Structure 1
Amino acid sequence: MKLFTSFIALILLVSCKSKQEKTNPIEEKITESVYASGIIKSKNQYQVFSAVGGLVKDILVTEGDLIKKGDAIMRLSDITARLNSENAKIAADYSSVAANADKLNALKIDIANAKAKMENDASLLEKQRNLWNQGIGTRNELDQRELMHTNSVNAYNAAKLRYNDLQQQLNFQSKQSQKRLEISNTTTGDYTIKSEVSGKVYDVLKEKGEMVNTQTPVALIGDANGFIVELQVDEYDIARIKIGQKILLSMDSYKGQVFEAVVEKINPAMNAQTKSFTIDAAFITPPPALYPNLTTEANIIINVKEKALTIPRNYLIDDTYVMLSTKEKRKVTTGLKDYQKIEILSGLTSKDVIIKPL
């Protein structure tokens, strides 16, 4: 019985060995590329945001409309903003210098009266001094006149200071109120959301009566005809990407078809969260119709060799060796590689037979 079991095991072992896959290195074209994924974007595509929050009152465009820079996209309810603007105008009018002319005129009268009294007290003091020099009058009378003159001088100067202070205060309040009015008017204008570019409305993201805030986009706008490809490349591969490299693109919208593009721009800043870089590419052979945010997968071609000795990548052992059909483990030097095959620079010929590792 033991002999029979051993015999069966030997047959199975020989059978497995006989079924082990074999191949020969072959000479063919090999293309080395870097995988990337991304989306289709219209040129100058941007999301429109509102500068203020509020309820959508009117939507002035629809998807597919061609618009110019500065055209209104939608209006928000601005009742509160208009009331604030009116209050700001009332405050500006009330604080203006012209509206406070009576206060300034009253202080001018005070200055004139203080000046007249000062001049009168100066005249009386001069007379008292002349009398004192002639031996007429008392020292107390002279001191009283000097004190009255000093007080009138101080009163005159104080009146001028009050006038200047009031004038400066009114000027400040007038300018401040005017600025508040300008800010209020500007805010009122923000309730009409306008486009920053000329182009095509690809999406309106809000409906009438919906609430709008400053963090959520309300529309998507971009060029009417021009499109670019925005790709994400892993940081491991970014050093191999160069401007001008050819790209082969596939899209779910055009299954089975391949389109060509070329690398136009490499964004030098890495996305710290995804550990990837953004690549912009231009179509060489674009599809007949494109829309923003279509997804795409791409192969960025790094190198191409028309005649290369290649083997399947899964025949390579530890990235350095292959196993010959004679059970010899041979070291090889590799070159270009794609997702299925790898170039052999030395160590094998097309006559060698290699087996796939188990």
Structure 2
Amino acid sequence: MEKHKIIMTGGGSAGHVTPNLALIPKLLALGYEVQYIGTKNGIEKDIIKGQNIKYHVISSGKLRRYFDIKNFSDPFRVLAGVIQAIGIMKKERPNIVFSKGGFVTVPVVIAAHFCKVPVIAHESDITPGLANRLATPYCTKVCVTFPESIKNIKGNKGVLTGTPIRKELLEGSKIKGFTLCKFSDVNKPVLFIIGGSLGSKIINDTIRKCINNILPKYNVIHICGKGNLDKSLEGKRGYRQFEYVSEGLPDLMNAADLVISRAGANVIFELLALKKPNILIPLSRKSSRGDQILNAESFRKHGYSIVIEEETLNDKLLMDKLEELYRDKLKYIKAMNESPVKNGVNNIISIIEKYSKRA
């Protein structure tokens, strides 16, 4: 019997790729052949590289909400991507396509629709991103993470599944995390700071401004983004900085007692799954479409997080909120333990199975 084939797509940021990694082991166990469509130089290529699955490259233009001279040429790149993706669909004949969002997915989803291949998309945030909004008319179903999201998906296509969490993330080792960081004082609580896959200058700058007040109380793991290391802090006792961590991330996150993070949906649901008390600093509306603000507000409302608006962030406020989080950490852990939101892997797999076109 011919093996069922799924083509996955998603890119532009790690948040549009890593949820796919959570689904791949289950899909392989169910007998699917998994392939991936991405761009030549996108972050998705590096992340998928180690998965031993076939990777197809297509052209794609970035979808911008601001003026850029490339806005005139990128529609032609998207069109070229559609033609390339149609060629891949006709050659590979997948049973289904799974799209995680990001600009690379638009030509893939349109091509799949043209070739009559069912498409399941996943939207992490409360309101759909531009790529998913453009792709929704061509999708069979759109899986969503927040209950509030259903009303934002047009065409009665939304289905609440939660977000997929990688099995490895839940199996990280606190001891390995300490070893990786070479912390000598194992009795100090660990503060984990992550500003998204690309890092956050404002979070990095604020942390570094008050690092001498933080280190007497905490060991600090700081994921600061590519090119954002501070050489003056290298070798500082109890402080370990990384540009980006892939393989060791589950160990570092499991070592954490408290977390300071952006409010991208993937990372906050990972924090929820791991029951990590956290401070969320969402991207401001000036530099985003406001999705992180809505994500953070939902988590604050449910008692999972303290939220600091980027516009109000300063070192004194951060220290005050960090002290509050540590003092009330059990309250946040209790709220997260009582959360009805579970790992979305099985829910999404069941949707894929339901709509997969049987040869």
Q: TM-score, normalised by structure 1?
A: 0.19
Greater strand content: 1
Larger RCO of the pair (alpha carbons < 8 Å, separation 6+): 1
Work out which of the two has the higher radius of gyration on C-alpha atoms and give 1 or 2. Answer: 1
Q: TM-score, normalised by structure 2?
A: 0.19
Greater helix content: 2
